[in-house]
C-alpha cells in the first residue's frame, strides 16, 4: 500500500514547523540580550529545511541501483531540518556608558534578534503547520475512502 507513504509528507512538515517554532521561541527569549563584546552576545538562530530523501538513499545503498529502480513509485518524501544557522547580521552597538557591561568606549552590544521579525516568522510557521494538518486530513480521508471501496 504505497499510498500510505503519503502520510509521511504532512507529518514531517508538522514536525519541521514545530522545531522552527521552538527555535523562534528561543530567539524571543534571548531578544533582550546584550554583552560587552560582539562575539559574546546571543545571535539569532534560523532553521534550514531540505527535502528528506532518507528512504531512497537507504534503498539505493542496501538493495543496489538495479533493484531500487523497480520501486520508483515509492516516494517517501517530506521535509527535514538539516541544520540551525546563525543570522550573519552583526550585533548593534549601543552607547550606554553607565551600563556595567559597557566596554572602555561606553558601548554594549545588543543581539540581532528583531522581535517583529520573529513574530512574523512564528505566524508563518504556524500557518505552515496548519496547512500540513489540512493535508493530513485530506490524505486520511482519501485512505479511508480507499479502504471502503470493497465494501458494499
* pLDDT recorded at residue 126: 97
Where do the H-state alpha helices sit in 30-152?
54-63, 65-68, 115-147
pTM above the 0.95 mark? Answer: no
* pLDDT recorded at residue 147: 82
**Cα 73 to Cα 93: distance, rounded to the nearest angstrom:** 55
Phi-psi bin for 64: left (phi > 0), alpha (psi -120 to 50), beta?
A: left
Number of H helices, E strands in the chain: 4, 5
The helix/strand/coil state of 112 is: coil
Radius of gyration of the chain (CA): 23
The helix/strand/coil state of 104 is: coil
* pLDDT recorded at residue 73: 47
pLDDT in tens, the chain (152 residues): 556 677 888 888 999 999 999 999 999 999 999 999 999 999 999 999 988 666 566 555 655 555 545 555 455 578 888 899 999 999 999 999 999 999 999 999 999 999 999 999 999 999 999 999 999 999 899 888 888 887 76
* pLDDT recorded at residue 148: 87
Please give the helix or strand (H or E) that residue 93 lies within, else none: strand 92-95
Q: Which residues contact 10 (CB under 8 A, 6 or more apart)?
A: 132, 133, 135, 136, 139
**Cα 15 to Cα 19: distance, rounded to the nearest angstrom:** 6
pLDDT digits 0-9 by tens, 24-63 = 999 999 999 999 999 999 999 999 998 866 656 655 565 5
Amino acid at each position: 500500500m504505497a499510498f500510505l507513504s503519503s502520510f509521511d509528507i504532512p507529518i514531517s512538515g508538522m514536525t519541521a514547523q514545530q522545531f522552527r517554532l521552538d527555535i523562534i521561541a528561543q530567539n524571543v527569549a534571548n531578544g533582550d540580550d546584550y554583552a560587552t563584546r560582539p562575539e559574546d552576545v546571543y545571535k539569532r538562530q534560523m532553521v534550514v529545511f531540505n527535502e528528506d530523501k532518507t528512504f531512497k538513499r537507504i534503498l539505493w545503498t542496501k538493495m543496489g541501483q538495479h533493484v531500487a529502480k523497480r520501486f520508483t513509485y515509492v516516494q517517501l518524501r517530506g521535509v527535514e531540518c538539516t541544520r540551525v544557522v546563525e543570522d550573519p547580521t552583526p550585533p548593534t552597538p549601543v552607547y550606554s556608558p553607565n551600563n556595567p557591561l559597557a566596554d572602555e568606549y561606553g558601548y554594549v552590544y545588543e543581539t540581532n534578534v528583531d522581535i517583529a521579525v520573529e513574530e512574523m516568522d512564528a505566524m508563518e510557521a504556524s500557518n505552515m503547520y496548519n496547512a500540513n494538518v489540512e493535508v493530513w486530513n485530506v490524505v486520511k480521508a482519501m485512505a479511508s475512502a480507499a479502504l471502503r471501496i470493497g465494501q458494499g
